[in-house]
Structure 1
Amino acid sequence: MKTPLAWKNLVHNKVRTSIGVAGVSFAVILIFMQLGFLGGIIHTATQIYDALEFDLMLRSPAYLHLTEARSFPRSRVLQAASLSEVAEARSFYLGLSEWQAPASVPAVESAKTSEAIEEEGDWRAIITMGTDPKDPVFNRQEINDEARKLSDSTFVLVDVKSKSEYGPADDEKFSETDIGVETTLGPHRVRIVGLFELGTGMASNGACLTNPEGYVRACPWQTIDDVNFGLIKLKDPSEAELVRQKLLSIYGIPSRDEKSTFSLTAAALTNTDVEILTRQQALDREEHRWVHETPLGQIFTLGVWVALFVGVAIVYQVLSTDIANMMGEYATLKAMGYGAKYLTKVVLLQAVLLAVVGYIPSIIVSWGLYRLVEKLSGMPMNMTPGIAALVLALAITMCVLSGLAALRKLYQADPADLF
């Protein structure tokens, strides 16, 4: 049986190996966190889209991102509804309004005196959505059930994932105790009649849902005939591209090469008042916007490379020091007839073992940090199998690169130095 020399080298000096494992773990945790943040940005950017029921989306050609969607005539949605392939065509309103944290006193008491209104909290930007309560636009039954409570323009639902700064009764999270509380949304008073769970976006830490009339009350710069999204559900989702081409013809919009859609500017689309996207196109564009066109995605992508560089530097120091301290042993192996190929395998295997040993505590610590960050910030941090596998591959690559850099010292081992 061959002696596992690479493993023996690792366990020979436990202190030095522990330092190396700690260094690898630190770098791997950095990579995990950067990828987690990047994944959180992608998920947060598209989570509202994910909850909407549509196969095709109509939106303004001047669209910037979810909370800067701009608007287009609702008549375009009605035109889409006339096609035989369309099962439903619904209007959806979404924008940013202002929310005042409710008073800490009970709602019944707050209605008695004007002073009580003055006791209410600070104003915060809040994602405000509007949907028809008789025909909600969500693909989650529990949200649609709650949306049917929005029979009046003064009624709102509050997302339970809204932060504590939006004024829940227990100062932590919106719950059943907040139902019936009155506050101010935009320039008007509203009443919380229910709760839903969806998640906020990148532009705000809170979200609420109302009916179209309530949305216009909260965002008075927009009329009910100017919608932000048209959500089209098809009888056969596989016909999405066919129906899209039909709508382009109806609206008089020239067809464009989709390979260049990310580079299109609003100015290039000013000859039309609406654009049509498939579901996947809408998701891809929103992801592209936040990952590639904003500093957030670029920072975390750069963070992965920085973490790799740190890891390579740490592992190189560990391996090169280990080789330097065992130069006599390596020279002896050379004198015994072991060639450079064998010794290279030993060093690289040692590097891989260091990566694997350092990876095990890293994934455990990173999982705990994911849960902590998600709880404190509300950003979804998911330890997916894909992320775990990618980080393991990056950790091994990092350590192998360090091993290759350290081989220069190994090749300096000379049997003549033994005498």
Structure 2
Amino acid sequence: MKTPLAWKNLVHNKVRTTIGVAGVSFAVILIFMQLGFLGGIIHTATQIYDALEFDLMLRSPAYLHLTEARSFPRSRVFQAASLPEVEHAQPFYLGLSEWQAPAAAKPGPSDDSSLSPESALEAEGDWRAIITMGTDPQDPAFNREDINQEARKLSDATFVLVDVKSKKEYGPANKEKFSEADIGAETTLGPQRVRIVGLFELGTGMASNGACLTNPAGYIRACPWQTIDDVTFGLLKLKDPEEAESVRQKLLDIYGIPSSNEQSGLSLAPVNQSNTNVEILTRQQALDREEHRWVHETPLGQIFTLGVWVALFVGVAIVYQVLSTDIANMMGEYATLKAMGYGAKYLTKVVLMQAVLLAVVGYIPSLIISWGLYRLVEHLSGMPMNMTPGIAALVLVLAIVMCVLSGLAALRKLYQADPADLF
């Protein structure tokens, strides 16, 4: 039976090993958190798209990101609806408006569209930017029945639904989270008075900590700079989603947009073309471009990507110090092994195995601690932090690579072990 020399080396000096495991755990937790934040950005950037029902999306070619989407003529949506391959086409409105937090939530009858003059005095809270969406209550644009069911309550332009994930700064009655107690409360959205008639759960975007939903007329009241004939998105549901690319090409021909005028790749720079007032994207293209925008073209995504590399560098430095100190303290033992006939290949294997063991032992508590931190951050900030199997596996691989690199760097000291030093 072979002696597990790498393991014996670790448990020989428990204090030094504990310090090494703590260092590895610290670096691994840093990696977990950076990847968690990065994943949260990706999820937040596309969560509204994820909830919409469409196979093809029409949007302005000057689109920048979700809350700076610009607009295009609604007639383009009606043109698309004429294709036999299109099962359903509908306009969708989205933009940033201003929300005044209700000072007090006084329930009232949700079927009464009149707003009391006195209610204006009740809404004296702070103003906040809020994502405002507009959809037809008779034909909601979402692929989730819970949201569609609530959206059917939007029978009047003064009615709104509030996202329960909106932050407490938006004025929930319990000072923490919007709930049934807020239904009937009146406040100001944009320049007009509105009444909360229901709630939905979706999640806010990167540009705002709150979201609300109203009908198209209500959206125009909240965002008066946009007209009912200028829509943000055209959502096309196809009879056969597999035909998305062929239908897209037909629409390009109908709209008179040459393929050569299309933007290539994931570039998100707004274009300025006189013969182009609409851009056509498949669902996957829309998701990919939004993700690319926030992860690769904004400082936010780049910071967390850089954070992963910084955490790896910190981990390599810590583990190198542990392994190199361990080798220096046991130089005589390694020299004895060389004198007994063990070659550099075997000794290299011992050091690298010791590094892998450090990675695995340090990874286990890091996984548990990071899961707890994910839940804490999600609770405090509202950013979705999901410990997926993919993230867990990726961090384990990165931890092993980090420790192996440290082991390779520490081998220089091992090769200095000389049997002649024993005499």
- Taking structure 2 as the reference length, the TM-score comes to 0.96
- What is the aligned counterpart of 1:276 among 262, 274, 280? 280
Residue by residue over 1:116-150, the C-alpha shift from the partner in whole angstroms, topping out at 9 and shown as x without a partner, is 72662100000000000000000000000000000
- What secondary structure does 2:271 align onto? helix
Give the superposition deviation at 1:354.
0.2
Counterpart check, 1:247 vs 2:251: yes
Q: CA RMSD in A?
A: 1.5
1:72 maps to 72
2:34 maps to 34
Counterpart check, 1:347 vs 2:351: yes
- What is the aligned counterpart of 2:400 among 396, 408, 416? 396
CA distance in 2: counterparts of 1:247 and 1:66, whole angstroms: 23
CA distance in 2: counterparts of 1:258 and 1:380, whole angstroms: 34
- What secondary structure does 2:379 align onto? helix
Counterpart check, 1:378 vs 2:382: yes
2:111 maps to none
CA distance in 2: counterparts of 1:365 and 1:219, whole angstroms: 44
Give the superposition deviation at 1:260.
2.4
1:215 maps to 219
1:134 maps to 138
Do the aligned partners of 2:96 and 2:129 also contact (CA within 8 Å) in 1?
A: yes
Correspondences of 1:304-315 after superposition (within 5 Å)? 304-315=308-319
Structure 2 residue ranges without an equivalent (≥5):
109-114
Query: Which deviates further from its counterpart, 392-401 or 113-122?
Result: 113-122
Give the superposition deviation at 1:324.
0.4
CA distance in 2: counterparts of 1:105 and 1:68, whole angstroms: 31
2:18 maps to 18
Residue by residue over 1:211-254, the C-alpha shift from the partner in whole angstroms, topping out at 9 and shown as x without a partner, is 00000000000000000000000000000001000000000001
CA distance in 2: counterparts of 1:338 and 1:83, whole angstroms: 76
Residue by residue over 1:272-293, the C-alpha shift from the partner in whole angstroms, topping out at 9 and shown as x without a partner, is 1001000000000000100111
Quick one: which amino acid aligns to residue 303 of structure 1?
A: G
Do the aligned partners of 2:93 and 2:135 also contact (CA within 8 Å) in 1?
A: yes
Do the aligned partners of 2:130 and 2:210 also contact (CA within 8 Å) in 1?
A: yes
- What secondary structure does 1:162 align onto? coil
Give the superposition deviation at 1:107.
5.2
Return closer, same or farther for 1:39/1:325 CA change in 2, 3 Å cut-off: same
Correspondences of 1:193-212 after superposition (within 5 Å)? 193-212=197-216
Give the superposition deviation at 1:255.
1.1
- What secondary structure does 1:231 align onto? strand
CA distance in 2: counterparts of 1:105 and 1:413, whole angstroms: 77
Return closer, same or farther for 1:192/1:118 CA change in 2, 3 Å cut-off: closer
2:187 maps to 183
Do the aligned partners of 2:378 and 2:385 also contact (CA within 8 Å) in 1?
A: yes
- What secondary structure does 2:319 align onto? helix
Counterpart check, 1:172 vs 2:176: yes
CA distance in 1: counterparts of 2:83 and 2:119, whole angstroms: 55
CA distance in 2: counterparts of 1:193 and 1:119, whole angstroms: 16
Give the superposition deviation at 1:265.
3.4
2:59 maps to 59
2:112 maps to none
Give the superposition deviation at 1:269.
3.7
Return closer, same or farther for 1:329/1:352 CA change in 2, 3 Å cut-off: same
Residue by residue over 1:63-112, the C-alpha shift from the partner in whole angstroms, topping out at 9 and shown as x without a partner, is 0000000000000000000000000000000000000000136356xx87
Quick one: which amino acid aligns to residue 97 of structure 2?
A: S
CA distance in 1: counterparts of 2:265 and 2:273, whole angstroms: 11
- What secondary structure does 1:267 align onto? coil
Correspondences of 1:258-269 after superposition (within 5 Å)? 260-263=264-267, 265-269=269-273
- What is the aligned counterpart of 2:391 among 384, 387, 393? 387
2:85 maps to 85
- What is the aligned counterpart of 1:364 among 368, 376, 388? 368
CA distance in 2: counterparts of 1:210 and 1:135, whole angstroms: 13
- Taking structure 1 as the reference length, the TM-score comes to 0.97
- What secondary structure does 1:19 align onto? helix
Do the aligned partners of 2:28 and 2:363 also contact (CA within 8 Å) in 1?
A: yes
1:2 maps to 2
Counterpart check, 1:225 vs 2:229: yes
2:49 maps to 49
Quick one: which amino acid aligns to residue 201 of structure 2?
A: E
CA distance in 2: counterparts of 1:84 and 1:261, whole angstroms: 29
Q: Which runs of 4+ in 1 moved over 6 A?
A: none
Matched residue count: 417
CA distance in 1: counterparts of 2:274 and 2:313, whole angstroms: 46
Give the superposition deviation at 1:113.
7.5
Return closer, same or farther for 1:86/1:120 CA change in 2, 3 Å cut-off: same
Counterpart check, 1:124 vs 2:154: no
Do the aligned partners of 1:103 and 1:116 also contact (CA within 8 Å) in 2?
A: no
Give the superposition deviation at 1:271.
2.8
1:192 maps to 196
Do the aligned partners of 1:48 and 1:198 also contact (CA within 8 Å) in 2?
A: yes
